[in-house]
Amino acid sequence: MLRKPRSRTPRSDKLFAAASRILPGGVDSPVRAFKSVGATPVFIVRGRGARIEDEDGHTYIDYVMSWGPLIHGHAPRGLLKTLAATAAKGTSFGAPTELETRLAQRVATLMPSMERVRFVSSGTEAAMSAARVARAATKRDKIVKFEGCYHGHADPFLVQAGSGAMTLGVPTSPGVAAAAARDTLLARYNDLDSVERVFARHRGQIAAIFVEPIAGNMGLVPPGDGFLPGLRAVCDREGALLVFDEVISGFRAAAGGAQQIFRIRPDLTCLGKIIGGGLPVGAYGGRADLMGLVAPAGPVYQAGTLSGNPLAMAAGLWSLEELSPGLYTHLAQLGARLAAGLADAARQRGVPLQVNAFGSLLTPFFTDQPVRDYQSALAADTGAYAAFFRGMLARGVYPPPSQFEAWFISGAHTSRDIDKTIAAAREAMRNVEGRK
């Protein structure tokens, strides 16, 4: 039986008003502000398994899952136990601990291309550091990224960026120095000709191609056949480095990430999210000769007060040690079921919808055209998505508050959760249909 649409959320509204008087936009990361979905954010008090509860006592089946880190769900008992035992010994020393070595070894086992690993505290730090290594190694300044891909908020990457930048319609942010933007070259995702054109114009100047091997920040857009092998070939021919940003896809698409699935060996990889199990961890790594440039082994400087802190390392270790073939089978089954259910819910109401899905990642795009890149993603009806989002939230389902994000399913989600979500979608599609 579906819960009646959610009543008002007075406590969250009050808390958001207070937050907005001290935090820019009332949040610490833009996409959380619900700006593009015409609603006021709900304030969360707790999470357990696949669910979160807000300050007004409403519970939701969660498909944000902290934007990807929580592949095992909210507050798994084993993780809480590990964190308590680790915290009892101290949370950070600013000195080496064995935990860093153990987590790095685990990462290298799962992703053999990562012969050396450096931990940082976010995906942004991972990507900006990898860019510095690539520039130092090649003695070239320019990097190629793809429209709609997001590699964190460091200046070189805030050019036609996806995720919150795309959601808020500021894909190229003010404040990014012209020189920084000049060294960032844009190509179109899933379009190797556009990559060839960029290299033809800047031959010998490009240090690296940065790519989300499974794009999640324009909404989910999987790589087309031949796209990733094509990038590998261009980099080999042009003496540029191939950098996989697997902050989303790492350990999510498979235990070895997209590089395992597509059997491509990148020169460097950026990681985040799952590697920290919900605590702040990012990492970059790859070929030993490249990572040998990183201080203090080499001259490329990069540092961090809380890099590799034991609490985050313990959370990451637990998270990676809990990965299993059964988990990925479960995630794939639920992902396929949800994708089919959302498509069917739209069909029943005559609402144009394209559902892109890959394992436990998916995005319902409100458009009747396939979505294969930034331009086709932009064609989606964000007003329709907003109406759908509000309808889902009112029925106890918490999707990403943006058309241009991926939905995340965890091992804590069940078939019953998926069926409830599909039932809510059938109802929420009425909000969309009614808009016409």
Contact 57, 396 (CB under 8 A): no
Nearer to ligand KE4, 67 or 398 (CB): 67
Contact 356, 363 (CB under 8 A): yes
Q: Is 401 in the site for ligand KE4 (CB under 6 A)?
A: no
Q: Is 219 in the site for ligand KE4 (CB under 6 A)?
A: no
Determine which residue in the list 100, 245, 373, 381 makes contact with ligand KE4, applying CB under 6 A: 245
- In whole angstroms, what is the distance from residue 243 CA to residue 138 CA? 13
Q: Is 183 in the site for ligand KE4 (CB under 6 A)?
A: no
Active-site hit among 273, 373, 381, 385? 273
Nearer to ligand KE4, 249 or 431 (CB): 249
Active-site hit among 63, 150, 189, 328? 150
Would you call 141 a catalytic residue per the annotation? no
Contact 54, 64 (CB under 8 A): no
Q: Is 207 in the site for ligand KE4 (CB under 6 A)?
A: no
Buried b (16+ CB within 10 A) or exposed e, 288-301: eebbeebeeeeebe
Nearer to ligand KE4, 247 or 317 (CB): 247
Q: Is 195 in the site for ligand KE4 (CB under 6 A)?
A: no
Tokens representing residue 285 in the block: 């790594």
Would you call 273 a catalytic residue per the annotation? yes
Cβ at position 157, least distance to ligand KE4 in Å: 8
**How big is the CA angle at 144 (ends 172 and 224), to the nearest 5 degrees?**
100
Nearer to ligand KE4, 168 or 336 (CB): 168
Task: Work out whether strand 397-398 and strand 142-146 pair parallel, antiparallel, or are unpaired.
Answer: unpaired
- In whole angstroms, what is the distance from residue 221 CA to residue 372 CA? 6
**Which 289-308 residues touch ligand KE4, going by CB under 6 A?**
none
Cβ at position 152, least distance to ligand KE4 in Å: 4
Contact 335, 361 (CB under 8 A): yes
Q: Is 42 in the site for ligand KE4 (CB under 6 A)?
A: no
Nearest to 104 by CA among 283, 357, 247: 283
Q: Which residue has the tokens 């799962």?
A: 110
Active-site hit among 56, 183, 191, 245? 245
Number of residues lying near ligand KE4 (CB under 6 A): 21
Nearer to ligand KE4, 32 or 202 (CB): 32
- In whole angstroms, what is the distance from residue 145 CA to residue 243 CA? 10
Nearer to ligand KE4, 183 or 405 (CB): 405
Buried b (16+ CB within 10 A) or exposed e, 362-383: bbbbbbeeebbbbebbbebbbe
**Which 163-182 residues touch ligand KE4, going by CB under 6 A?**
163-164
Contact track, ligand KE4, 332-371, x by CB under 6 A: ----------------------------------------
DSSP 5: P
CA distances for 282 relative to 130, 152, 308, 370, angstroms: 11, 11, 9, 32
Cβ at position 309, least distance to ligand KE4 in Å: 15
Contact 37, 431 (CB under 8 A): no
Q: Is 389 in the site for ligand KE4 (CB under 6 A)?
A: no
Nearer to ligand KE4, 20 or 324 (CB): 20
Determine which residue in the list 9, 124, 354, 363 makes contact with ligand KE4, applying CB under 6 A: 124
Contacts of 7 (CB under 8 A, 6+ apart): 56
> Cβ atoms within 10 A of the Cβ of 399, count?
27
3-class SS at 285? strand
- In whole angstroms, what is the distance from residue 258 CA to residue 265 CA? 10
Contact track, ligand KE4, 84-113, x by CB under 6 A: ------------------------------
Closest residue to bound ligand KE4 by CB: 123
* Region binding ligand KE4 by CB under 6 A among candidate stretches 105-113, 144-152, 192-200, 307-315: 144-152
Nearer to ligand KE4, 100 or 212 (CB): 212
Q: Is 272 in the site for ligand KE4 (CB under 6 A)?
A: yes
- In whole angstroms, what is the distance from residue 333 CA to residue 343 CA? 16
Task: Work out whether strand 142-146 and strand 206-211 pair parallel, antiparallel, or are unpaired.
Answer: parallel
Tokens representing residue 31 in the block: 């996409």
Would you call 150 a catalytic residue per the annotation? yes
Q: Is 23 in the site for ligand KE4 (CB under 6 A)?
A: no
Q: Is 269 in the site for ligand KE4 (CB under 6 A)?
A: no
- In whole angstroms, what is the distance from residue 142 CA to residue 119 CA? 25
Cβ at position 140, least distance to ligand KE4 in Å: 22
Catalytic residues: 150, 245, 273
Residues making contact with ligand KE4 (CB under 6 A): 29, 31, 67, 122-124, 127, 150-152, 163-164, 212, 216-217, 245, 247-248, 272, 282, 405
